[in-house]
Every structure is written in structure tokens, then in C-alpha cells.
Amino acid sequence: MPKITFIGAGSTVFAKNVLGDCLVTPALQGFEIALFDINPERLAESETMLNHIKNTYGSTSAIKAYSDRKEALRGAKYVVNAIQVGGYDPCTITDFEIPKKYGLRQTIADTVGIGGIFRNLRTIPVMLDFAKDMQEVCPDALFLNYTNPMAVLTNVMNTYGGIKTVGLCHSVQACVKDLFKNLGMDDTGVQSKIAGINHMAWLLEATKDGVDLYPEIKRRAREKQKEKHHDMVRYEMMLNFGYYITESSEHNAEYHPYFIKRNYPELIERFNIPLDEYPRRCIEQIGNWKKLKEELVGNPTLEHKRTHEYASYIFEAIESNNAFRIGGNVMNTGLITNLPKEACVEVTCLVDRNGVTPTFVGDLPPQCAALNRTNINTQLLTIEAAITGKRDHIYHAAMLDPHTSAELSMDDIKSMCDDLIEAHGDWLPAYN
């Protein structure tokens, strides 16, 4: 019986999306679906929920929860990762509150920026532990990483974990559809090309019947910028740099030095930037869980409709050899020629029985590549810090971050990093 292992299975809603998709897909019947989470209560809830779906649809797959991670991984053909190390309390709170003391505000703090750096530093050691187990018990498994910070963690698993890894993010899937919907345009028949890095990939082309749609996109965007809306940062970036970005405005507000600035507080209002957005979402999700739990875990006739998540389509393409196209995060093996070869990039990939095959892009527009490199610098220095254990590289990563360096002096950046290291305590390894 082939095996799909889901690490972080206590994320019940996400487990429903990814594994529920597998349970209702004919090509993916007869699998063992192995669940692992460090929280036994949430693990049991997800097991119950998935058995509801299995019984509703008569799936022939077996659901099994494990208390031993290595045993959950043993013999796996596919591994899905959806962990969050440190959770909302204490780690996310720490990522936001200590920078605030230095006047550094954030929106999501899960990709780059000071929050992204420290989320990486506490997650990388755990991921490398996964890799060590996988090298022993399932060395040929395909590892699908859904955990942020996507680019760094996918890079680490490929480069230092020795595990065949592709990172998956929703932003590429939603990019064209959401842009056209918000501008009142029809996306039927639109052909697009997207490439860059995770959360900062670029809609390089948008055409229909051979006609370039960008002039009309930009015309409508200029009109829309005259009033408040939820995507003002991305429109502003597109109108100044020429191309639309895949990830949301609340994310991109903190990836660049232009929007969240103490000396220009009016920018927050002008571009409708939701500071402290991620903590708000966390509190809302925690508050809603009781109701969701009853709907998912307490419903023995639970139904499921296949979602847009890539995982089941990747598994199906490999198992059936019916090719499928994804936007995947992979190592830059010459795919984007004006980004560093050490970087993890987001490009179109073809999936079939041969696995995940990235496609060649060539040069990005020079201004797009330049913006990508500002984030890649911090990503690569964060990896260097995690692998070498050198505190100086944490400082380097933070000092090279566009938003952090635009707001704080070098002395304040180093002091803030020291405070964050101390506050994280045992969530981080020792740095010398």
C-alpha cells in the first residue's frame, strides 16, 4: 500500500483540503494516509474528520495516526509538510511585539523581514530533523512543503537536507483570477506567464487571442487607485515597476522599503496597509475553532469537494502519468538566468510520472530581478546563519532586509536581533 504522510496534521482545516482531495480522487485510492502531529488532541481530531470523509465517499485508503514521526514517515512515497514552529503564542507574538519597541511595524511577518528571519531560524532545525529521518526511512519520497517561509525552507530541504522538495503556494494559482476579477475583466481564455521568487513572482505576460492585456490592466488600475481598495500596494508596484506581483498587498507592503515608514505615517492610510494583520487572523482563527471543530470533527457524514490545492493533482499526475502544470518553488538550476543559482525560485513546472520538472524562464525584466534579489539576499544570509550557527549572519540578514534597513540603524538592528534571540529562548538553537 503506497503511503502519503502528512506532517502537521493537527492543522485540521488544511488537512481536510489536502487529504480530503486525495480521498475523493479515483487515482489515489488504496493509499495509506499517515498522520503526524506533536499535539495528540488535534491529531485525533484530524483522524476522526478524515475518517468521516473516507466513509462518506467509500474511499479505499486507510487513515492512520502516528505518535512516532519516524514511523509515520517510514516507506512514504509522498510527504506533505504543514507545520508551524512556535505557533501564535509565544513565537508569533514575539516576532511582532519586540520589533514594535524599536518602531518597526509589520503586517504578516512570515516570509522575509525580521519576523520571517526568526520564523526561519526556529523552523530550519526542525525541518532538517525531518530530512534526517527521511534519509533513513523514505529517502526517495517527494516532499511537498506548504510551510512559510517558503523559499528558505524549500531551499534548505533541497540543499542541506538532501530531500527532493518542491514548495507550493496559493498565490500563483489565484494571481490572474483575482486581478481580473478586481478590475472587472473577464479572465476566460487568458494565457499568462509567471516567474520570480515566492510571494514576489511576476505576471510577466497576460494575453488573450494574441493581444497584450497589460495596457488595459494598467489603465483600470490607475483608475482604481483613485479610491481605497484592498490591493493598493500591488497596483502601485505594478504602475511603477511594470508588472503585477503574485502575493497580496499586505504581504508586499513589508517586502519593500516604500510603504511602512515611521517618518511617513500617511502612507499607511494612503495605501490601506493593515499593520499587525497576521496576529489578528490568528486570534480570529483561534476564536472560530470551536464552531469549525463541530462542523468538521462532529459530522459523521462530512462531505468534501476537491479544492484547488496542488498536492492531490501532483500525486495524481505522477500515479496516472497524466501531465499537470503547477507553479512550484524549486532550486534555480539556471531557470531564471539573472537570479543567483543559490536561490529558490518560483516557476512553472510540469508534473508526470517523471516527477516535477521545472521549466526554463531566462532573464526576468531587470527591475523585477533587482527587487527579487533584495529579498534573496536576506533569504541566503538567514540560511547561512542557521547552518553555521553564527549570530553575525542573523545581523547580516536583518541589515540586508529592505524594510528593516530602511527604518532602523545598524546598532538598533543588532540590538533588536539580540532581544529576539533572548525572547525566543529554547525555540532557537544557540548562536555564537
Contact 292, 13 (CB under 8 A): yes
What residue numbers does the annotated binding site cover? 148, 169, 199
Binding site, annotated residues for Mn(2+) = 169, 199
Q: Are 432 and 390 in contact (CB under 8 A)?
A: yes
Instruction: Tell me the CA distances in angstroms from 261 to 110, 231, 258, 279, 288, one per residue in order.
Output: 19, 18, 7, 20, 33
As a whole number of angstroms, the distance between CA 143 and CA 365 comes to 31
Can you give the three-state secondary structure of 144-205, one letter per residue?
EECCCCHHHHHHHHHHCCCCCEEEECCHHHHHHHHHHHHCCCCCCCCEEEEEEECCEEEEEE
C-alpha–C-alpha distance, residues 171 and 255, integer Å:
15
394 touches 417 (CB < 8 A): yes
Residue 386, amino acid = A
Q: Which of 426, 417, 432, 422 is nearest to 115 (CA)?
A: 417
If DSSP codes are grouped into helix, strand and coil, which group holds residue 30? coil
Catalytic residue selected from 52, 170, 308, 424: 170
Phi/psi at 149 (5° precision): -75, 115
Cα dist from 332 to 13, 362, 386, 390, whole Å = 32, 11, 20, 25
Helix (H, G, I), strand (E, B) or coil at 228: coil
Q: For residues 344 and 156, what is the distance between their CA atoms, to the nearest angstrom?
A: 9
Active site residue 229: no
**Contact at 8 Å (CB) between 171 and 151?**
no
Q: Could you tell me which residues come within 8 angstroms of residue 110 by beta carbon, excluding any fewer than 6 positions away?
A: 116, 119, 148, 149, 278
Measured distance CA(134)–CA(139) in Å, rounded: 5
**Which DSSP category does 209 fall into?**
T
Tell me the binding residues for substrate: 148
Element (H, E) at 6: strand 3-7
Task: Give the active site residues.
Answer: 170
